[in-house]
Structure formats: structure tokens, C-alpha cells
Amino acid sequence: MLMGMAGKELVVGLLKKEGVDGKLVESVLEVPPDSSLGDFGFPCFVLSKEWKKSPQEIASELAGKLKVGKGVREVKAVGPYVNFFLEVDLVSESVLKDVWKKKERYGAGGKKKGKVMVEYSQPNTHKEFHVGHLRNVALGSSLIKIMRFDGKEVIAANYINDTGAHVAKCLWYLMKKGTKPVGNKGEWLGKVYVEATQELEKDDSFKGEVSDVLQRLEAHEKEMDALWKETRQWSLDAFNDVYGWLGVEFDVWFYDHEMIEGAKKFVEKLEKKGIAKESEGAIIVDLENEGLHTLVVGKSDGTIPYISKDFALASIKFEKFMIEENVYVVGSEQELHFRQLFKILELFGFKNAKRCFHLSYDLVMLPEGKMSSRLGNVVLFSDLKNELMDSLKGEVEKRHDWPAKRVDSVAKDIAVGALMFGMLCQDHQKSIVFDLKEWLNFEGETGPYVQYAHARLRSVLRKAKKKVGAGVDFSLLSEGVELELVKLLELFPSKVDEAASSRRPSLIARYCLDVAQKANDFYHRVPVLKAEKKLMEARLLLVWATAQVLCNGLSLLGIVALDEM
């Protein structure tokens, strides 16, 4: 699958001579996970029925008979596998030629069937947008890029929570105080929300005032509606600033306030189907037998719970967008919510309900502990952006005499690189510590480190002042570190495939780090520009291919591969 055709054909040819069906070999031939096991592995289970022997016996029998020869330097039985080791130059040739041919498409998968929707970010208007929310943005946007590169059709969706109790609290306090916004209006509003929740704790009678605001909001009272529209827009503008700066995009935007009618209808249908029932004025679904508790889907005061809006949203996704796979990137605190939701969608009878998936990620912590609006220790997005830009612009200016515009743009690419990589290099099921100093370290396991490794390779290519080409003597690439680098590059397509199907962008981040480390290792150990001409040509091709693969990998994480930094 991975290796260029030449190597695979050789193996198929050898096995054919021993009477094994060529088509069968092609369809089952594997690339061992560890290169010390060889370049290809043939699993002998597929023959054991026909040959009436155990796979182990077949493996050793075949390995004994197969003749090594042109291109194949060793054949070995390992358990039920026959493993093949190719001549190293054959490996380098097929991998590097493959990168050369495909360039920015190297690693991409073939077109795959089935439309997927990935819903991510989903912020609440009238609330703060902080670094915790960035983890979601990084995961969702990267997953979409990976799945698309792997050949899937993916719709990127956002779902804005713009109604409900949190909006009422914020507007209640805003009216009560009569204050006017300063600076970034969306962030200012988020701060008002935090103050509102603190104020609410002081006096119980405030609760009544807030629920009054909520009712007036839901009744679309004119004055209230106007205030809602105006303030909601402040938040949306602030979100769009974040998305624009990070370079992430959405194909569709859903809003909570659009789901109210659909939610009511859906709940009625649930009742008709006998899935939901009335209980003490409310409408409930009993999922006790599934171990998912009993939940309210229609409140006695007529307001719509969060989950019921999700019924309406899922119906739109399945019926209007005709999606087959439905991914929600949402924090792990909502695991129960999504299990309940998916169960009800299944009971309702949506054909693809089983293909709903909650990509559940863990918290972003600060070095000093948990982030909390109440404690006032959240890192707001605009503060973060300003701090990053200030320090990085200084760094870039120290090294280059560039016009301000270029300094700005490179500083921004490094800032985004640091954030995205920091958010993605850890598996999403584990918590991460947001430590800006560490994330910016050019020598750590960071975005800037990988970007720098790429820039260094590009600088070698610039200095060579020579056209790179694929017509080189591949047998000259014989140093251990060169072969290891080639082997890593060879893995990229299968990494993409694995990251897409297991929905784990962290695999790509770790992979980029491995390539960057190996590239640096190579750079320090092996001369390129000072090597003899033929050798230099071969090494330049390797340098070029490594830069290309890093660039492809980084772009899947939403990170710009800079030429100079």
C-alpha cells in the first residue's frame, strides 16, 4: 500500500512463483509497523484453509523456498508472516519518487463515499471565549482537514448557543447596571456575564428578575429582542475575529434560536411513538434500562431543554444535509448528554443514528491549576493574542531586517503554530497544561520547533542554488539516519489514514514532531552542500521531500510551514 509499486510487484512476483495467487497477495500484503520487521509482510492465514496447514508452517515453508534476488535482500518467517526486506535503494527510490510525483498531495487518500458533518467550536454568545475553547477549535478544524485529505466529503459546522438562561443573566445585569461597552465588545460582554453570575449569588430575589427577562426574551418582546440582537452580534463579531486570526472556517452555521420550533415538533413525535411521556407536567424519556437515566425533554413551563434542541439540529443534519456520519467535538463533561442524545435518535429511527460520534476532549489546565471564570483566572483570547504577538514580533525583529508587514505575518504564523500544535500534540482524551512559555520553546516539542525544522530544510535548498530532481543515484543514500528518514516519510499516508479513521489529529502532530527530530538529526550528522556532487543531489532530494512532507503534515494541523522565520 505504501511502498511504491516497484517493491510491491517484486514481492508479488516472488510469491506467485510459489503458486500463490497474485491478486490475493496484493490485497493482503501489509507494511509491518516496525521497519526492523521488513518492508512487507505476507500474512499466511489466508492460505491455511486451502493448504491445510497452520499459518506458521506455511510461513516457514514459503520463507525456505523463496529465493532472494534482485531488489529483495532477505526473506524471513516471523510467526504466521513471511516478511520481505528490500534493497535499501529500492525503498528510497520508491518513497522519494512518490513524494516527488505527488507533492502537496502526497499522503492524500482516494475519494471515499459518505458525507460527514463535523460540528465544532459551538461557543455561547454573551460568554467569554478563552483558551479552553481553543482546544475545541484546534481539534475540529484539524480533524476536518485530515478527513478531507483522506478523501472524505466533510461539512464544517458551527452551532451557536445564542438563547437561554445565560443570555438572560447577562442582559439582566446589563440593563440593571446600564453600562456601555469598552474595547472588544464581545469580550466585554463576557465579563459582564461573569459579573452577573457573581451578583446573582448575592440575593435570591434576583432569580425572579432573571426569569422575567428570559420570558420576555422568549416572547420576543420588542425592546428585549433589539437588545438581544445587538449584543449577540457583539459576540459573533468577536468569534469571527478569533476564527479569522486562526484561519479556520465553517460551511454552515446553526443557531440555537432556530431550533425551538423543530424541538417542539420532535418532542411531539417522540410522544406519539411512545418514546416520551408526560410526567408531572413535564415530558420525559425514561432511559433507565439503558443505564442512561431519565431525562426531561419538555419542561413544565414550556421552555425547551438543551437536549431537545439537539433533536431538531440532528434532524436537519440527517434530513436536509443527508449526512451519513455525524461528529460532535465537545468537552468530556457532556458525555452523558451525547449518549442520551444518540440513544434517542436511534430509538426514533434515524438510519444513521449509529454513526453519531462524540469527539470528547479533556480540559485545558493552567500551570497553577484549573481555569475558572469565577476565580477570574481565565486566559481570554485577545489577551493571549496580544501577548503572543508582542513577544514574537520582538523575536522575529531580532533575527531579520524585514518590513513590518512581513514581521507581523511571520509572527502570526508562529503564534498560531504554537497554539495549534500545543493543543493538538497531546491525545484529546488527556488534559493539557496551557503553558505559553513552553509552547513557544524553539527547542521543545512544539509548533515552532517543527516549523523551524522545516525552515532549515528550505534554507538548505535555497543555498544549494540547484534544481532538485528525482533522477538521482538512490544507492548513495546509505547512512542510517537517511534511511530512517526515508522510512518515516514512507509512513505519512498510513498516518493520515489512521488519524482520519480514529479521529485523532494528535497522531499527525506527533508524526510531524518525529519527522522534525529526525530531520534535525540528519542535518547535524550528514553534510549536504559540502558533499560530492552526485551525493549532494541525492541528499537534496531527501531534504526537499522531507520539507514537503512536513509542509503537508503541518497544513493538516492548520499550521503554516514557513520558509524563513
Binding characters for ligand ARG, 312-331, by CB under 6 A (x = yes): -x--------------x-x-
d(CA 117, CA 138): 16
Q: What is the closest distance, in whole angstroms, from the C-beta atom of residue 307 to ligand ARG in the complex?
A: 8
Spacing of C-alpha 490 from chain mean position:
21
CA pair distance 228, 360, nearest whole angstrom: 31
Residue among 260, 270, 293 at smallest CA distance from 344: 270
The least CB distance from residue 427 to ligand ARG, in Å, is 21
Q: Which three cell numbers stand for residue 453?
A: 525544522
State the residue for C-alpha cell 547512512.
479
Q: For the residues of 163-212, what is the DSSP string, one character each? A: SSHHHHHHHHHHHHHT----SSHHHHHHHHHHHHHHHHTT-THHHHHHHH
Per-position x/- string for 296-315, each x denoting binding to ligand ARG as judged by CB under 6 A, each - no binding: --------------x--x--
CB nearer to ligand ARG: give 107 or 132: 132
Least CB distance to ligand ARG at residue 233 (A): 18
CB of 344 to ligand ARG, least distance (A): 13
Q: Binding residue for ligand ARG (CB under 6 A) from 83, 141, 158, 161?
A: 161
The torsion defined by the Cα of 183, 189, 192 and 196, in degrees rounded to 10, comes to 180
Give the separation between CA 491 and CA 506, rounded to whole angstroms.
15
- Of the two residues 128 and 537, which places its CB atom closer to ligand ARG in the complex? 128
Round the CA-based radius of gyration of the chain to a whole number and report it: 28
Q: Nearest Cα to 435, choosing from 141, 139, 131?
A: 131
Tell me the closest approach of the beta carbon of residue 240 to ligand ARG, in angstroms.
16
Residues 6+ apart with CB under 8 A from 243: 121, 137, 249, 250
Pairwise CA distance, residues 11 & 27, whole Å: 12
Applying CB under 6 A, does 163 fall inside the site for ligand ARG? Answer: no
Beta carbon of residue 387, minimum distance to ligand ARG (angstroms, whole number):
25
Of 124 and 426, the one with the shorter C-beta distance to ligand ARG is: 124
Give the interface size with ligand ARG as a residue count (CB under 6 A): 9
Residue 47-86 contact track with ligand ARG, rule CB under 6 A, x = bound: ----------------------------------------
CB 235 → ligand ARG: shortest distance, Å?
12
Nearer to ligand ARG, 379 or 483 (CB): 379
Our CB check for ligand ARG shows the closer of 119 and 482 to be: 119
Q: How far is the CB of 171 from ligand ARG (least distance, A)?
A: 18
In angstroms, what is the minimal distance from the CB of 328 to ligand ARG? 5
CB of 257 to ligand ARG, least distance (A): 13
* Cα–Cα nearest to 450, from 400, 508, 490: 508
508 close to 146: Cβ distance less than 8 angstroms: yes
Identify residue 457 by its one-letter amino acid code.
L
**285 φ, ψ (degrees, to nearest 5):** -120, 130
Cell 520508491, residue located = 94
Q: Where in 201-240 is the site for ligand ARG (CB under 6 A)? A: none
Q: Which is nearer to ligand ARG, 99 or 364 (CB)?
A: 364
Nearer to ligand ARG, 94 or 122 (CB): 122
Q: Which of 146, 109, 71 is nearest to 428 (CA)?
A: 146
> Does residue 159 belong to the site contacting ligand ARG (CB under 6 A)?
yes
- As measured in angstroms, the least distance from the Cβ of 507 to ligand ARG is 24
**Binding mask of the shown chain, residues 262 to 291, with x at each position contacting ligand ARG by CB under 6 A:** ------------------------------
Lateral strand order in the sheet of 115-119 = 252-255, 153-160, 115-119, 325-331, 356-361
Nearer to ligand ARG, 125 or 184 (CB): 125
Which is closer to ligand ARG, CB of 119 or CB of 537? 119
Give the contacts of 262 (CB within 8 A, at least 6 positions apart). 309, 311, 312, 313, 315, 316
CB neighbour list of residue 258: distance below 8 Å, 6 or more residues apart: none
For residue 158, the minimal CB distance to ligand ARG (Å) is 10
Which has the closest alpha carbon to 184: 252, 141, 237?
237
Q: Considering the rule CB under 6 A, would residue 342 count as an interface residue with ligand ARG?
A: no
Find the shortest distance in angstroms from Cβ 325 to ligand ARG.
15
Q: How far apart are CA 117 and CA 352, in angstroms?
A: 12
d(CA 549, CA 553) in angstroms, rounded, equals 6
Cell of 136: 475545541
Instruction: Specify the residue, 328 or 350, whose C-beta has the smaller distance to ligand ARG.
Output: 328
For 308, phi then psi, to 5°, come to -70, -30
- Closest to ligand ARG by CB, 318 vs 511, is 318
- DSSP summary character for residue 355: G
Instruction: Considering only residues 109 through 138, tell me which ones interact with ligand ARG, judged by CB under 6 A.
Output: 119, 122, 124
Name the site residues for ligand ARG (rule: CB under 6 A): 119, 122, 124, 159, 161, 310, 313, 328, 330
